[in-house]
Chain A
Amino acid sequence: MSNITFKLNHEEVSVELNPSMRLLDALRDHFHLTGPKEGCGEGECGACSVLVNGKLVNSCCFPLANVQGKEVLTIEGYSKTERYHVLVEAFAHEGGSQCGICTPGMLIAAESLLTKNNHPTDEEIRIGISGNLCRCTGYNAIIKAIQRAIKQGAGLW
Chain B
Amino acid sequence: MKDLTRSTPKVDHEEKCSGKSVFVSDIHLEGMLFAKTVRSTVAKAKITGISLPVLPKGYTIVDHKDVIKENVVNMIFSDWPVFATDHVNYIGEPIMLIVGPDKKVLDDLVPQIKIDYELEKPEFGYFHSSIHKEYTKGDTKLAFFNSDRIIEETFETGYQEQAYIEPQGMIAYPEGPKKVTLIGSMQCPYYIKNAVMRTLGYSEDQVRVIQPSVGGAFGGKEEFPSTTACQLATAVVKIGRPIKMIFEREEDMLVTTKRHPSKITLRAAIDENHKIQAIKAHVSMDGGAYLGLSGVVLARAMIAVSASYTIPHLDVSGDVYTTNTVPTGAFRGFGAPQMIFAIEMFMHHIAKELHADPFTFRLAHLAKQGDLTSTGGVFRDPIIMKELIQKAAEISDYHKKVVAYRKPGSFKGVGMSWFFHGCGFTGDGESSHIKARVKLVKDEQDHVFVLIAAVDMGQGAKTSLKRIVAQTLDLPNEQVTFNNPDTDQILDSGPTVASRTTMIVGGLLQRAAESLKKAWIPGKKIEIIEKYQQPDYIRWNEATMKGDAYPAYSWGVNVVEVEVSPITYQVKVKGVWSVYDVGKAIDERMVLGQADGGITQGIAYGYLEVMRHEEGKIKQKNFTDYIIPTSVDVPVYQTVLYENPFPFGPNGAKGVGELTLVGGAPAVALAIEQAIGKKINKIPATPEFIMGLLKHE
* A–B direct touch in complex (beta carbons closer than 8 A): yes
Q: Are A133 and B630 in contact (CB under 8 A)?
A: yes
Indicate whether B215 reaches chain A with its CB closer than 8 angstroms: yes
Answer whether residue B85 sits at the interface, using C-beta atoms and an 8 A cutoff. Answer: no
Residues 92-132 of chain A, each 1 if its beta carbon lies under 8 Å from chain B, else 0: 10110111111110010000000000000010011101111
Does more than half of chain B's interface fall in helix, strand or loop, or is it mixed? loop
Please pick, from A42, A74, A88, A126, the residue contacting B632 in the complex, using a CB distance under 8 A: A126
Complex interface: chain B residues within 8 A of A37 (CB): 19, 23, 25, 166, 215
Q: What residue in chain A is nearest B9 (Cβ atoms)?
A: A92
Question: Does A79 contact B17, Cβ atoms closer than 8 Å?
Answer: yes
B51 within 8 A of A: no
Q: A75-B19, A100-B16, A101-B164 are in contact. List 18 more A-B contacts (CB 8 A).
A: A33-B19, A42-B249, A44-B623, A88-B14, A95-B593, A98-B459, A99-B166, A101-B215, A101-B216, A102-B165, A103-B17, A129-B631, A130-B630, A134-B165, A138-B599, A138-B634, A139-B631, A140-B636
Contact A136 B249 (CB under 8 A): no
If over half of A's interface residues share one DSSP class (helix, strand or loop), that class is named, otherwise mixed; here it is loop
A14 to B18, CA, bound (A): 25
Distance in Å: Cβ of B17 to nearest Cβ of chain A:
5
The answer to whether B18 touches A104 (Cβ under 8 A) is yes
Interface residues of B in 1-28 (CB under 8 A from A): 7, 9-10, 12-23, 25-26
B340 in the interface, Cβ–Cβ < 8 Å? no
Most buried by A among B9, B15, B215, B592: B215
| A47 proximity list for chain B (CB < 8 A) | 165-166
Contact yes or no, B165 A39, CB < 8 A: yes
Instruction: Please measure, in the bound complex, the distance between the C-alpha atom of A41 and the C-alpha atom of B593, giving whole angstroms.
Output: 27
Task: Determine if A141 and B628 form an interchain contact, defined as CB atoms under 8 angstroms apart.
Answer: no
Residue B125, interface by CB 8 Å: no
Q: B648 near A: Cβ within 8 Å? A: no
Within 8 Å CB of A152, what residues of B? none
Contact residue range for chain A? 35 or more
B637 interfacial contact with A, CB 8 Å = yes
A41-56 interface (Cβ within 8 A of B): 41-42, 44-45, 47
> B460 in the interface, Cβ–Cβ < 8 Å?
yes
Is there a chain A Cβ closer than 8 Å to B283's Cβ? Answer: no
The answer to whether residues A133 and B628 also contact, given A36-B19, A40-B622 and a CB cut-off of 8 A, is yes
Answer yes or no: A73 CB below 8 A from chain B CBs. Answer: no
Q: When the two chains form their complex, are residues A40 and B623 in contact, meaning their CB atoms are under 8 A apart?
A: yes
- The answer, yes or no, to whether A135 is at the interface (CB within 8 Å) is yes
The yes or no answer to A8 lying at the interface (CB within 8 A) is: no
Do the beta carbons of B165 and A41 come within 8 Å of each other?
Answer: no
Chain A residues contacting B12 (CB-CB under 8 Å) are: 100
User: Measured between alpha carbons, how far is A140 from B15 in the docked complex, in Å?
Assistant: 22
CB–CB A107/B17 < 8 A: yes
Count of chain B residues with Cβ under 8 Å from any Cβ of A?
56
Question: Which has the most chain A C-beta neighbours within 10 Å: B623, B628, B631?
Answer: B631
19 CB-based A-B contacts, threshold 8 Å: A35-B19, A37-B19, A38-B25, A42-B622, A47-B165, A79-B17, A79-B19, A88-B17, A91-B17, A95-B589, A97-B13, A100-B12, A100-B15, A138-B637, A139-B596, A139-B629, A139-B634, A140-B634, A141-B593
Tell whether, in the assembled complex, residue A143 and residue B631 are in contact, meaning their CB atoms are under 8 Å apart: yes
Contact across chains for A135 and B628 when beta carbons are under 8 A apart: yes
| B contact residues around A107 at 8 Å (CB) | 17
* Chain A neighbourhood of B248, CB < 8 A: 41
Residues in B neighbouring A11, C-beta threshold 8 A: none
B35 within 8 Å of A (CB atoms): no
Shortest CB distance A5–B (Å)? 24
Least CB separation from A143: chain B residue: B631
Whether a CB of chain B sits under 8 angstroms from the CB of A3 is no
The answer on a CB contact under 8 Å between A100 and B17 is yes
A39 adjacent to B166 (CB under 8 Å): yes
Chain B positions 201-223 with a Cβ under 8 Å from a chain A Cβ: 213-218
B-side residues, CB < 8 A to A, are 7, 9-10, 12-23, 25-26, 162-167, 213-218, 246, 248-249, 457-460, 589-590, 592-593, 596-597, 599-601, 622-624, 628-632, 634, 636-637
| CB contact between B215 and one of A44, A99, A130 (< 8 Å): that residue | A99
Measured CB to CB, the nearest residue on chain B to A39 is B165
Contact digits for A44-88, partner B, Cβ 8 Å, 1 yes 0 no: 110100000000000000000000000000111001000010011
Output the least CB separation between B563 and chain A (Å).
16
A144 (CB) vs chain B CBs: closest residue: B636
A135 and B634 form a contact (CB under 8 A): no
The answer to whether A135 and B630 touch across the interface, beta carbons within 8 angstroms, is no
- Residues on the B chain within 8 Å of A92, using CB: 9-10, 13
| Contacting residues, chain A, for B215 (C-beta < 8 A) | 37, 99-101
| Cβ-defined contact, B19 with A126, below 8 A | no
Closest to A88 in B: B17
- Given known pairs A95-B592, A99-B214, A136-B458, the reply for A44 and B624 (CB within 8 Å) is yes
Q: Are A98 and B460 in contact (CB under 8 A)?
A: yes
Residue of A nearest to B458 (CB): A99
CB distance from A82 to the nearest CB of B (A): 14
Judging by beta carbons under 8 Å apart, are B19 and A38 in contact?
Answer: no
CA distance A90 to B451 in the complex (A): 31
Q: Which residues of B contact A135 (CB under 8 A)?
A: 162-165, 216, 218, 597, 601, 628
Q: How far is the CB of B76 from chain A (nearest CB, A)?
A: 25
Contact of A39 among B7, B249, B592 (CB under 8 A): B249
Q: Mark A25-36, 1 if CB is under 8 A from B, else 0.
A: 000000001111
Decide if A137 is an interface residue (CB 8 Å cutoff).
yes
Q: What chain A residues lie within 8 Å of B163 (beta carbons)? A: 135
The smallest beta-carbon distance between A108 and chain B, in angstroms, is 10
CB–CB A138/B596 < 8 A: yes
Known: A102-B165, A133-B165, A140-B596. A97 touches B10 (CB 8 A): yes
